[in-house]
Amino acid sequence: MSGYTGVTQEDLEIMLGAIGVASIDELFDSIPAGVRLRRPIDLPPGLPEQAVYAELRRLAARNVSAEDEITFLGAGMYDHYVPSIVDMLMSRSEFLTPYTPYQPEISQGGLQVMFEYQTAISELTGLPVSNASVYEGPSAVGAAAYLAKLANRRPRVLVSRGVHPDSRATLQTLAVGYGTTVEEIALDDGVTDLDALREAMGDDVSAVILQQPNFLGAIEDVAAIADAAHEHGALAICAADPLTLGVLEAPGNQGADVCVGEGQTLGNRLDFGGPSFGFFAATDAHIRRMPGRIAGETTDVDGRRGFVLTLQTREQHIRREKATSNICTSQALNALGGVVYLSWLGRTGITELAELMLQRTHYARETLAALDGVSKLHDRPVVREFALRLEAPVDKVLDRCAAAGINAGYRLGRTYDEHPDGLLVAITEQRTRADIDRLADVLGEAVAAERATAQVPA
């Protein structure tokens, strides 16, 4: 008996008696001798709650989190402030503990949240149909290409090199399964090379995938790329950072057929990468090809407004091998966080927040690019993140900054071989001008110190 199970001696006797066996062991008789575990599970003994807490605190203390340093790390997830009401609502038992709403009569809360979430995502993306969430951003890109495959059965997808490296990798992994070939379209001064894209297009292209803003922070011309795709009857799939859509035109209004993305920026924690949620929106034409749950409005027998999981004939539990996706458990709780966050930000707030990031990002970019040994990696307009080029080894510069309590950003060389000297710097509403100025000081010193070291003959 643990603190979570409660079979007393009396219970045990009554229960075994009712079943008609002499021991619990007997209930496992159907397990053949040959596959039995004949020793205890080899794990440390159980611990009281306080000891588990202490252990998890010990581990937490071995991480340098955004609470411990001033961080300019982004690259797909961002240190935004999570409002307290998000935590409060996500931790309510009624939202935290139920399963997927299979019994709508007692799940109206969760179903309506999905419906509201879908509405908010639809508004943000400018597309009429949103599902209730997918796992996260990069796999959403893979799922979008699968939708394209279901839509037109063409064998190739073209993906901009400005799409998140994890998204491209995930797409590649999944595409091997569903038999699509993935080809990359290079960047030209920071944005998708439209000429290269047009060159690569053909009637065998299923979809073109871009990211807004792209991984180097640059704003893409979604409309131009969508046009290039549509010219050949391919789908235009846009991965987007939803918060930037406070100032950037909605992909749906620029011709994207599908808009997906990472929802972490919408009131979800960093959590070392998850759980967050992916969003997935599309035009009406694709509603019956969408992956995952979709909540729909209906009425009950007494005429009351209500919500249900709808269009379930797309889904694995009904259609099995003919389903449009295998997804089952997705990210309902995180999507709740998303819609609460969007409600909290509100219609004016999302623009204000995005505008604040835009202005601070501009300030940071100009301030840093003015440092000796630091320059812009590209000149394109940016919203919340930008790429720099350092005339010093980026890893060493980052170490120096870290020692001063600053995480200066993402070393582009980790995923872009062509930019070994690249540094990606992200801004959120939590990074003030004072933080940026401090980064400038620390980064300037670090670059200078590294250049001085390099000048010393070995």
Partner 1 sequence: MSALDGGATPQQRERATTIFEKGAPGRRAFIAPELDVPQVDGLIPAGLRRAAPPRLPEATEPEIVRHYVNLSKRNFDLDSGFYPLGSCTMKHNPRLHERVAALPGHARLHPAQDPRRAQGALELMYELQGALAEIAGLPHVSLQPSAGSHGELAGVLLTRAYHADRGEQRTKVLTPDSAHGTNPATVTMAGYEVVKVALDAAGGVDVDDLRAKADESVACLMLTNPSTLGIFDPNIEEIAKIVHDVGATLYYDGANLNAVMGYSRPGDMGFDIVHFNLHKTFTQPHGGGGPGAGPIAVSDRIEPYLPRPQVVRREPANGGPPTYDLDEDRPKSIGKLRGFQGNYGVFVRTYAYIRSLGGEGLKDVSEVAVLNANYLLARLRERVGEHLPLAFGERCMHEFVLSGAPMKKELGIRTLDLAKRLLDHGMHPPTVYFPLVVDEALLVEPTETETRETLDLFVEAIAAIVEEAAADPDIARNAPYTTPVRRLDEAGAAKRPRVRETL
Ligand X SMILES: Cc1ncc(COP(=O)(O)O)c(C=O)c1O
> Pick from 2, 5, 23, 50: which binds a second copy (CB under 8 A)?
50
Choices 49-57, 177-185, 192-200, 225-233; region in contact with a second copy by CB under 8 A: 49-57
Q: Which is nearer to a second copy, 169 or 356 (CB)?
A: 356
Partner interacting with residue 405 (select from partner 1, ligand X, a second copy, none; CB below 5-8 Å by kind) = none
Q: Say if residue 455 is exposed, middle or buried (CB neighbours under 10 Å; 0-12, 13-18, 19+).
A: exposed
Site for ligand X in 126-185 (CB under 6 A): none
Torsions phi, psi for 374 (to 5 deg): -130, 135
Cβ proximity to partner 1: between 85 and 233 the closer is: 85
Gap between the Cα atoms of 454 and 458, Å rounded: 8
Question: Whose Cβ is closer to a second copy: residue 256's or residue 364's?
Answer: 364
- 233/227 Cα distance (integer angstroms): 10
- The only residue of 22, 28, 455, 456 in contact with partner 1, by rule CB under 8 A: 28
For partner 1, which is the closer residue by CB, 199 or 349? 349
Binder of partner 1 out of 103, 417, 455, 456 (CB under 8 A): 103
Report 316-335 residues binding ligand X (CB under 6 A).
Answer: 328-329
Pick 309 or 345: Cβ nearer a second copy? 345
Is 455 a residue that touches partner 1 (CB under 8 A)? no
Amino acid at 360: R
Per-residue contact flags (x/-) with a second copy for residues 411 to 450, judged by CB under 8 A: ------------------xx--------------------
**Cα 403 from Cα 156, distance rounded (Å):** 46
Distances (CA, A) of 98 to 3, 69, 102, 352: 21, 36, 10, 35
Residue linked to tokens 């509603």: 287
Residue 240 lies near partner 1 (rule: CB under 8 A): no
- ∠ CA 105-110-115, nearest 5°, is 100
Contact 436, 364 (CB under 8 A): yes
SS3 at position 198: helix
Considering CB distances under 5 to 8 angstroms, the limit depending on partner class, which of partner 1, ligand X, a second copy, none binds residue 241? none
The single-letter DSSP state of residue 220 is: P
Give yes or no for residue 299 binding partner 1 (CB under 8 A). yes
Q: Does 136 bind partner 1 (CB under 8 A)?
A: yes
Please state whether 12 falls in left (phi above 0), alpha (psi between -120 and 50) or beta: alpha
Q: Which residues of the chain form contacts with ligand X (CB under 6 A)? A: 328-329
